[in-house]
Amino acid sequence: MSPAVDATEVRRRTHELLAAHPPATTGRTDFLKARFDAGLAWVHYPEGLGGLDAPRSLQQVVDAELAAADAPDNDPRRIGIGLGMAAPTILGFGTDEQKRRFLRPLWVGEEVWCQLFSEPGAGSDLAALATRAVQGDDGDWTVDGQKVWTSSAHVARWAILIARTDPDLPKHRGISYFICDMTDPGVDVRPLRQITGEAEFNEVFLSGVRIPDSHRLGPVGEGWKVAQTTLMNERVSIGGSRIPREGGMIGPVSTTWRERPGLRTHDTHQRLLTLWVEAEVARLTGERLRQQLVAGQPGPEGSGMKLAFARLNQEISGLEVELLGDEGLLYGDWTMVRPELVDFTGRDAGYRYLRSKGNSIEGGTSEVLLNIVAERVLGLPAEPRNDKDVAWKDLSR
């Protein structure tokens, strides 16, 4: 980390960027590319890769200066999988060539990413995955299998993929990690219609997909270790998102409470107060978790935040529907649409209630995350696992 880069230096570089590329007269993509090249994308990343090798805490200095200048951002919600999962994994395990090739268009938003991890028979027990990657004589890989619950696959250019490369090893040790080209003719993306009527998720069929060995992340057979970096970052990005006070799901129900006093009862008042306090505690805990990231990679604490996020969303949306009575049961549009991202804003209470049911499944089921918190945060004994040393091919499926 560079000791010469402090808040004054970061602010100076930001002002230089704005002077050379005025947001009012510079195209959005051109401005974002210039910002990346100036090291102001991720200030804690290495120089030449969108950063300045500076403390992560200085990012907020950059963001504040650019927001004050009305500079465009990179639409982080649209490219959240790339920013929150693919980028830290590429930074941690990618070759220099991979970092140079993928990080800039990822951050600028020119290339959307998705995550090919879960399978129909390997969700909570992800290490049991059956998608196979076989290496040919030329060193490249051929992948066959099926993935499921893949957000943004229908708009993605690239995917982070884990596949089994050695069925003779125990399930955690025979996995490798790849970057998959979603435009390969062997990639078939099909929509999964959800309870809301939307199809933001997908199932992805991989048939003879060719992946060059240069698109492998980490050593062969160590994909599970690489995947842990992705998963820990995923849970922090879901459960530790920066939101303002009364942001997120607590906002709409608080607004309804203030604007429509006729809906109030003593019971809903008490429940709203309790959930408001819990939402605020979760928000402040998320701030602390982000501060912890300054010291290094996210740890298992992110699983606890994701657990809290899922439970709160479901309880708050349930209260909102109750508060609205018959009106809360209305949900007017079952048209199957293919959104690029989940958008709770501007939607009705019925949508929020239905969509929140997925929060305890996506990004790691609550049951799995409870185990992680118990074992890795609280230090409780691990559950007995009789299959850890058994070759994957010999496991019953």
DSSP string, 294-339: GGSS--THHHHHHHHHHHHHHHHHHHHHHHHGGGGG----------
Give the active site residue among 65, 119, 203, 234: 234
CB contact at 8 A, 171 and 127: yes
The average pLDDT across 171-186 equals 97
The H-assigned helical ranges of 260-300 are 266-292
Asked if the model's pLDDT at residue 147 lies above 90, the reply is yes
Residue 148, phi then psi, degrees to nearest 5: -145, 160
Distance of CA 166 to the CA centre of its chain: 28
Closest residue by Cα to residue 42 from 106, 95, 97, 96: 106
Give the confidence band of 212 by pLDDT, cuts at 50, 70, 90.
very high
Predicted pLDDT of residue 132: 98
Residue 156, phi then psi, degrees to nearest 5: -85, 145
Question: What share of the chain has pLDDT > 90, as a percent?
Answer: 61
Tokens of 346: 């501007």
Interatomic CA distance for residues 216 and 39, integer angstroms = 26
CB contact at 8 A, 72 and 28: yes
Tokens of 352: 């929020």
Q: What angle do CA 96, 99, 104 make, to 5 degrees?
A: 140
Most confident of the following: 132-141, 244-253, 381-390: 132-141
Predicted pLDDT of residue 168: 97
Q: Which residues neighbour 217 within 8 Å (Cβ) at sequence distance 6 or greater?
A: 89, 90, 93, 94, 98, 160, 177, 178, 179, 223, 226
Query: Which helix H or strand E contains 176, and what residues bound it?
Result: strand 175-181
Tokens of 59: 């990012």
Task: Return the minimum-mean-pLDDT range out of 79-88, 175-184, 351-360.
Answer: 351-360
Told to judge if 234 belongs to the known catalytic residues of this protein, a careful annotator would answer yes
Predicted pLDDT of residue 20: 98
**Summary mean pLDDT of the chain:** 89
Give the confidence band of 112 by pLDDT, cuts at 50, 70, 90.
very high
What does the pLDDT look like over 48-58, one tens digit per residue? 999 999 998 89
Interatomic CA distance for residues 240 and 79, integer angstroms = 16
| Domains, in order of start, for the chain | 7-68 (no CATH), 82-220 (2.40.110.10), 240-377 (1.20.140.10)
Query: Which helix H or strand E contains 209, and what residues bound it?
Result: strand 201-211
Query: Which helix H or strand E contains 110, and what residues bound it?
Result: none
Interatomic CA distance for residues 377 and 50, integer angstroms = 33
